Amino acid sequence: MKVLICDATAQAALDMISEAGIEVVNKPDITPEELLEEIVEYDAMVVRSRTKVRKPVIDKAIKLKAIVRGGVGLDNIDVKYAGSKGIQVLNTPSASTAAVAELAIGYIFALARNIHQMTISMEEGEWAKKSFSGTEISGKTLGLIGAGRIARSVGQKANALGMRVIAYDPYVDEAPGIGMVEALDALFSSADYISMHVPYTKETHNILNAEAFEKMKAGVYVVNCGRGSTIDEDALFDALKSGKVAGAALDVYTEEPSMGHKLYTLEQVIGSPHIGAGTAEAKARVGTEVAKNVINALKA
C-alpha cells in the first residue's frame, strides 16, 4: 500500500504511517500536472489546502481508497464525486480548533488597539502617542457567523474577556455562553465585531455582501479566519473606504495565494496568508490525526 503526501505534513506523521507498514511518498510541492500522472499508483493521498482534488484527479485515481485532508474545510475536494467512486474523504476537524480560535481573538485585539498601524508608525521613527485612540473589547458584542467547533472556542474566549457573544447558524439551536439569533439581520444590527466561521458552500458564497454591510452598525470590525469567498471582497473594500466598516482582519481569500490585493492598500486592513492552523501544536495534532486516518482507512 502506498500513500502520496501532496502538501507539507509533520515528519512524525509520516513516520507513524511508515511504521504501520504503509509506503510513504512525500511530494509536498507536487504540481497539478504531476499529480494527474502519479495518482494512479496510490491507495491514499494526504492534502492540506493547496492541493485540489477534483474530478480529473479522482478519475485517474483507480486504486485510491482514501483522501485525507489535514485541516477542517473540504472545499478543495470534490467530496460527492469521490464518494460516488467509493473513496473515503477524511479530515481532522478538531486538531486546529485552538490555533484558529486564538488567531481570531488576536485579530480582535489588534483591530481594537490599532496595533499594526502603531507598529508601522514606530518603525518609521515616530512617537505618535496622541494619534492613536483604541477601544476596549470588554462590553462589546461579538457576532459569530457559524456556531461550530471553532466558533464556540472563539465565543468561550470572548466571554472570558467580557464580550457579549451572539451567533447565527441555521443548523445549531444552542451553544454554551452564546446567544443564538434567528436571522442574520439581527446579528448585523447588534454586533460590534463580526467573525466568520462557516464552510464555503453555495449558501455561504459572499454571505457578507454590499447589502449585508449596509445592515451593519457603523464602525463594525470584520474578522475572517474561516473560508475565502464567504465575503464579497469588493463590497468589503467599499465598506472600508466609506467608514461603514472600521477595520478588517483576513486570513483567507477568494483567490489564494492572494498577493497585491487592493484591500491591503487600506491601512485599516490587517491579515495573514492562511495560517490559522499554523502553530507548532496544531501542526503536531493535525499530523497525528492525518496518520491515524490513513492507517485506519488502509488497514481496516
Residues with a known catalytic role: 227, 256, 274
C-alpha cell at 230: 464567504
Give 209: exposed, middle or buried? Use CB within 10 Å, 0-12, 13-18, 19+.
middle
d(CA 288, CA 10): 8
Instruction: Report d(CA 43, CA 65) in Å as an integer.
Output: 5
Residues 6+ apart with CB under 8 A from 149: 93, 94, 97
Residues ≥6 apart with Cβ < 8 Å to 194: 142, 143, 144, 145, 187, 188, 208, 216, 220, 221, 222, 223
Residue of 70, 68, 65, 69 lying closest to 83 (CA atoms): 65
**Quick check: 75 and 254 in contact, CB under 8 A?**
no
Backbone region of residue 267 per phi and psi (left: phi > 0; alpha: psi in -120 to 50; beta: other values): alpha
Name which of 122, 125, 127, 162 is nearest 142 in CA terms: 162
Task: Pull the grid cell for residue 145.
Answer: 457567523
